[in-house]
Structure 1
Amino acid sequence: MLVSLPSLTVGLLLDDLLHRLVLSGQFHDFGQWNRLGLYEFVGTATTMPAGLREGGLLPWWTPDTLSVRFFRPLPSALLILDTKLFGEAPFPAHLHSLLWFLAMVSVVGWLHKRLLPVPLAAVATVAYAVAAAHLMPVAWIASRHPLVSGVPGLLALAFHLRAREDGWRPGLFLGPLLFVIALLGGEPALSAVALIGAYELFGRREGLRRAAPALAPYVFLVAAYLAFYVARGYGARGSAAYLDPARAPGTFVTTVAQRVLILLADLVVATPSDAAASVPPLHPAFALWGALVTIGALVLLRFLHGRLSEQERRTLRWLLPGGLAAVVPGAVGVIGGRVLMIPLLAGSALVAVLLVRSWQASREAELSRWTRTGLRVAVVLLVWGHFFFGPLFRMALGVALGRIADAQWSLARSAPPCDGTLVMVAAADPTIATYVPAAMALTGRAPHRYRLLSAAPHDHYLERTSANGFDLVVHTEERKVGFWEQVYRDVSPAPGTQVQLSGLRITVKESTEAGPMRVHFDFDRPLESPDLCFMTWHDGALRVLALPPPGQGVSIPHELGPMGL
């Protein structure tokens, strides 16, 4: 709870604002969301990209094929409950998230105590509780779903273990029932069944024929869930931020492997995957680090094998492959600590075994000095990562998220008023590009219409070509893909692409694989019309952009926003 305290002060943040807008019905004219489908952002019959582009909720470069829909009715219902009970107040909703987190830690503690000797179980549970990975599910209300899915998912594992090892017959029914509830909470439930499968296949060692009856209910439920998921069009397509196996199978496999290694670094030495996710160009380096520390952990475990108790060997024999399999579902989407709620059960158990047994071995006089030194270095690395750096990162980023939330509300209140069409010329930071306009709507300052012209993380140059139009040029020798660009499309719009919106025609003149380089924007009225409000991000605020006369231009430098993008 102490490590979570900074997270409790975070206001409504990012997708929290979109959820409030949907629940308030402010986007009724451009899309209708099922109230239990708050995570079905785009792609349903009533939330097609064309309508959301027209309404300004999606930028012009969004393809008609974009679909980002996740089956999470239980978290949606809890968000509705928060709104009904607490209104717009975020603090009670954060306490609600904290209760789910404490429930998660309690279940993990019970499992650790069952699977490991008590001293190691204590170390493992503390490592789990203070892990940096818990930052977003506790600090970000819209990201509560991994906890809502993880608690019943791990309870299903706990009851399955009781049924198989203690003969507790209610567990045969309660396990699958809780797994169904976990599936209603979201995709993280699939990680729980990975652990159950690993237990039956590698833990009991009774052969597939004996394991099949115990696994049958879970196999049936997973098959039914996946069939339903595909048939109803859930998942993400048309977005580079999410992986689609049908689009490029080879790239899918290599990218998933890379992301798995990044997540393993978070599990093994607490290298925050949330930090890695925000810097895509460094993903190969983070993946290499993940491979090195994972191999190092396995080598160390092999060295310590003779010093482990039979209970520890039996547990790690199935918990480690189960934990690896549990990481894979989270590697398909936008990676970060929130996808590790269930795999962390295995990660924290491994850390506890390595930490305690390495420390004990380092005190054995018969080992060489170099071996003892190496073991102590491993201990220091594990303690530093899991018990100092990880918790400090979680607390510091909790404070940072609070500042981002405050900034988006402050900017929404201080932005120049606009009663017509607010045209955001260039904004790479999602806070500025999307969430400040959302906060403006929630504070009663919404413009009539909103348009985002560019989210490229580079300097721009605006060339006025006529009374009604201009070219927007990205100024850089090496074009990078902006975070918001990759979320809303999977491929760059080709030269010649045209998009028609109310009052605006867009034509892509030059483009690279990373994104457009020159785009022409032609409005249906003079740019000096009082109902057109051209703004950009400059000197820490939204400011009116003074347009040059036809034949001239103006530079628009790229400046980092509240999220550092």
Structure 2
Amino acid sequence: MDTSPSPTAPGWPFKRYFWISIVFAVALGATALRSGFMPDDFIWLGVWDNIPPPAPLGNTPLDVYRTATGIPEHTLRLAEVGVFPWWVEPSVRVSFFRPLGSLLYGLDHLLYNRVAVAYQFHSLLWYVGLVVLAGALFKRVLPTAVAGVAMVLFAIWGSHAAVLGWLSYRSVVMSLMFGVLGLAFHIQWREQGRRNALVGALVSFTLALLCGETMVILSPYVLAYEAFSGPGKAKDKLKGLIPFGVLMAVYFAAYRAMGYGAGGSDMYLDALGTPVAWFQAMLGRVPAAIAGLTLNAPPDFIFDQSLVPLFTLLGAVGLTLFALLVWGVWPRLEAAERRTVGWMLTGAFVSTWLSNSAFAGSRTLIVPSLGTAVGLAVVLRHAWKGRAKTLRAGAVLAGAAVMAVIHVVGSPYIWWQTMDQYSQADALMGRVQARYTEAFDQEKLPHQRVVVLNAPNGIVGIYGSVRWWSSGQPLPKAWWVLSYSLYEQKVTRTGPNSLELSLTNGGHFLDSVEERIHRAARHPVRQGDEFDMKGMKVRIEEADAQGPTRISYTFDVPLEDPSLKLVQWQNKKVVPWVPPAVGGPSSALNVRVVQ
């Protein structure tokens, strides 16, 4: 499709849109320079510093995204020392094939050690590269003005902040950048018949796959392009997909053979391995993602499951508004532009489902935002060009104005707020480290087992010990966190070496998203189930269909034994928990106080 304007065509040249996009990408991306390290970054930092872990990790310097291997013996050993929680599903697998992402993160560590701003600057360069290549793709398949507007929108898209500011998600930006380049080469090969373009496409797609699974999420765009715009008849379109199909088949076979994938977790779902659970989860995740794409409503809020109905409604509203606006400008589009919009929006919609195999959040929106930016650019451009004193044109212009406010005016605010939250998360984990430092005697710690009765939230529960280990501090023999629950709990001593936790005002243990990272709801614990942590035995004393309500913990020594370091979070501090006499009064653990 020749999109170059005639010498007398009105409007800006693409070069102007290009440089505006780059300026915005750099300016907004620079806000990430203050975001610091996120909790999971400390896993990678500890691995690259070669700090001895409390038990063998799945992560290695060139394979840092292999967090849970799915090997029960390995998983249970990590649970016994407290790296994983006691309720972990032995078969849980969270292992992602991202060797180039691992390599470049390791290069940062070699060059900059733990200077987070240098890592962030490196990520910013990749983001600018992504914006450049997205703009080149848009220019190839769209009229100049629409391509330019789409590039600007993609550069400032609010949800991109969540990916850029979180360092371990750099692999997503890298994979998408190479994938977009491969898509552009694929189109060039199909439309111009250039063999070197086919080679470029396959090399680019391979690099994208070596960066991460994001290329798999991008693949619907390749299929949709062939369906809507691929040259020739149906058999020609199918033949055009053979090189890409062979590459993807080899990738999937190797991926499975090397033990990569996800399973046993509610955070990461496998559409092929557990299709029913995946589809059920998508019924809540996809509407929230659509709300994020169309209305800039951050889908991260559905971590609070009570907000799922609200975001389902917002998703329906956003999809309806967006569809009506596209329908409103549709008559103004040329046939070639309609085909391009068709495959771009189809790719965006299907990729929304694939991307939300990871738990819904702004970080899952970057691939579908590629096509959504095209759809929105078409609406904004043609709504302005077609403004007239008719009811339909006026309604479309009004709706387009609303979208412009949401996505153009609102996006910089989202960038700033996201980076502010990330910097606060970094500061929070620093405070958590300080609280544990105050609470522990580091000379005694290597001879003790830490028992944290209550974590303020799942992030502190999961990553508090990780941050401690990654900083090179002396390690206890084990670091057991008994509960991540946000509900008010009651702790009762039930024997010389035992205690139990129960919920005082309703609710259930193991029902939050954070608690289900390591054990999916489809692997429920039941009354009477026991878990042996080699020094602590856990028993589910009471449970119903929704989960446990009372849990007992029995240790191999009395609770007063100096080999146990019993602590609780209280009023934003880590304080000792002094066991009462057997039969003594219970005490409350009000986790909400310490948040």
Aligned residue in 1 for 2:422: 401
- Is the contact made by 1:188 and 1:329 (CA closer than 8 Å) also made in structure 2? no
Amino acid at match of 1:536: Q
1:290 maps to which of 294, 303, 315: 315
Aligned residue in 1 for 2:440: 417
Per-residue CA distance 1:128-179 (angstroms, 9 max, x = gap): 1111221232111112111121111110001112222244431111101111
1:89 aligned onto 2:115? yes
Aligned residue in 2 for 1:336: 361
Q: Flag the 1:205–1:322 CA change in 2: closer, same or farther, 3 A.
A: farther
User: d(CA) in 2 for partners of 1:385 and 1:274?
Assistant: 18
- Is the contact made by 1:265 and 1:271 (CA closer than 8 Å) also made in structure 2? yes
1:351 aligned onto 2:376? yes
User: d(CA) in 1 for partners of 2:542 and 2:100?
Assistant: 45
Per-residue CA distance 1:373-429 (angstroms, 9 max, x = gap): 533431232112211223312211211110110121132123211412221111152
Aligned residue in 2 for 1:225: 251
| RMSD of aligned alpha carbons | 2.2
- Is the contact made by 1:11 and 1:91 (CA closer than 8 Å) also made in structure 2? yes
Aligned residue in 2 for 1:392: 413
- Residue 310 of structure 1 and its aligned partner are, at CA, apart by 4.0
1:440 maps to which of 468, 487, 490: 468
Aligned residue in 2 for 1:485: 515
User: d(CA) in 1 for partners of 2:475 and 2:498?
Assistant: 21
Q: Flag the 1:247–1:112 CA change in 2: closer, same or farther, 3 A.
A: closer
- Is the contact made by 1:137 and 1:145 (CA closer than 8 Å) also made in structure 2? no
- Residue 68 of structure 1 and its aligned partner are, at CA, apart by 1.3
1:450 maps to which of 458, 464, 479: 479
Per-residue CA distance 1:253-301 (angstroms, 9 max, x = gap): 232244233222222232223334x223322432332233223322322
User: d(CA) in 2 for partners of 1:94 and 1:558?
Assistant: 33
Instruction: Name whichever of 343-352 and 285-294 sits farther off.
Output: 285-294
SS of the equivalent of 1:465 reads: strand
The runs of 4+ residues in structure 1 deviating greater than 6 Å are none
- Residue 496 of structure 1 and its aligned partner are, at CA, apart by 1.0
- Residue 316 of structure 1 and its aligned partner are, at CA, apart by 0.7
Per-residue CA distance 1:342-381 (angstroms, 9 max, x = gap): 32221101111112222343x302x13xx45533431232
Q: Flag the 1:359–1:539 CA change in 2: closer, same or farther, 3 A.
A: farther
User: d(CA) in 1 for partners of 2:592 and 2:217?
Assistant: 39
- Residue 311 of structure 1 and its aligned partner are, at CA, apart by 4.2
Instruction: Name whichever of 244-253 and 534-543 sits farther off.
Output: 244-253
Aligned residue in 2 for 1:118: 144
Q: Flag the 1:125–1:47 CA change in 2: closer, same or farther, 3 A.
A: farther
Q: Flag the 1:513–1:392 CA change in 2: closer, same or farther, 3 A.
A: farther
SS of the equivalent of 1:472 reads: strand
In the superposition, the TM-score normalised over structure 2's length comes to: 0.88
User: d(CA) in 2 for partners of 1:69 and 1:467?
Assistant: 41
- Residue 450 of structure 1 and its aligned partner are, at CA, apart by 0.4
1:306 aligned onto 2:331? yes
Instruction: Name whichever of 148-157 and 504-513 sits farther off.
Output: 504-513
- Is the contact made by 2:159 and 2:362 (CA closer than 8 Å) also made in structure 1? yes
1:430 maps to which of 445, 453, 458: 458
Q: Flag the 1:386–1:412 CA change in 2: closer, same or farther, 3 A.
A: same
Aligned residue in 1 for 2:130: 104
- Is the contact made by 1:456 and 1:474 (CA closer than 8 Å) also made in structure 2? no
Q: Flag the 1:399–1:172 CA change in 2: closer, same or farther, 3 A.
A: same
Q: Flag the 1:382–1:59 CA change in 2: closer, same or farther, 3 A.
A: same
Count of aligned pairs between the two proteins:
557
Aligned residue in 2 for 1:175: 201
- Is the contact made by 1:323 and 1:346 (CA closer than 8 Å) also made in structure 2? yes
User: d(CA) in 2 for partners of 1:130 and 1:291?
Assistant: 24
User: d(CA) in 1 for partners of 2:393 and 2:359?
Assistant: 40
Per-residue CA distance 1:37-71 (angstroms, 9 max, x = gap): 21111126598211110121100000212111111
Q: Flag the 1:83–1:154 CA change in 2: closer, same or farther, 3 A.
A: same
- Is the contact made by 1:427 and 1:455 (CA closer than 8 Å) also made in structure 2? yes
1:465 aligned onto 2:494? yes
Mapping for residues 142-161 of structure 1, pairs under 5 Å: 142-161=168-187
- Is the contact made by 1:11 and 1:405 (CA closer than 8 Å) also made in structure 2? yes
1:364 aligned onto 2:385? no
- Residue 82 of structure 1 and its aligned partner are, at CA, apart by 1.4
1:377 aligned onto 2:381? no
SS of the equivalent of 2:538 reads: strand
In the superposition, the TM-score normalised over structure 1's length comes to: 0.93
- Residue 18 of structure 1 and its aligned partner are, at CA, apart by 1.4
User: d(CA) in 2 for partners of 1:186 and 1:70?
Assistant: 7
2:531 maps to which of 496, 499, 503: 499
Per-residue CA distance 1:291-321 (angstroms, 9 max, x = gap): 3322332232222111224442231122111
1:553 aligned onto 2:577? no
Amino acid at match of 1:285: L
Q: Flag the 1:288–1:227 CA change in 2: closer, same or farther, 3 A.
A: farther
User: d(CA) in 2 for partners of 1:32 and 1:348?
Assistant: 38
- Residue 72 of structure 1 and its aligned partner are, at CA, apart by 1.2
Aligned residue in 2 for 1:252: 278
Structure 2 residues not aligned, in runs of 5+:
1-25
SS of the equivalent of 1:510 reads: strand
- Residue 81 of structure 1 and its aligned partner are, at CA, apart by 1.2
Amino acid at match of 1:386: H
1:215 maps to which of 241, 255, 258: 241
Amino acid at match of 1:557: N
User: d(CA) in 1 for partners of 2:419 and 2:285?
Assistant: 24
Per-residue CA distance 1:192-242 (angstroms, 9 max, x = gap): 322111111111363321112221011111122222223333211111222
User: d(CA) in 1 for partners of 2:347 and 2:275?
Assistant: 24
Amino acid at match of 1:432: V
- Is the contact made by 1:413 and 1:440 (CA closer than 8 Å) also made in structure 2? no
Amino acid at match of 1:292: V
- Is the contact made by 1:160 and 1:175 (CA closer than 8 Å) also made in structure 2? yes
Structure 1 residues not aligned, in runs of 5+:
none
- Residue 335 of structure 1 and its aligned partner are, at CA, apart by 2.2
- Is the contact made by 2:571 and 2:594 (CA closer than 8 Å) also made in structure 1? no
- Is the contact made by 1:330 and 1:339 (CA closer than 8 Å) also made in structure 2? yes
SS of the equivalent of 1:225 reads: helix
Amino acid at match of 1:69: S
SS of the equivalent of 2:85 reads: coil
User: d(CA) in 2 for partners of 1:548 and 1:444?
Assistant: 34
Amino acid at match of 2:364: V
1:38 aligned onto 2:67? no
User: d(CA) in 1 for partners of 2:335 and 2:234?
Assistant: 23
SS of the equivalent of 2:350 reads: helix
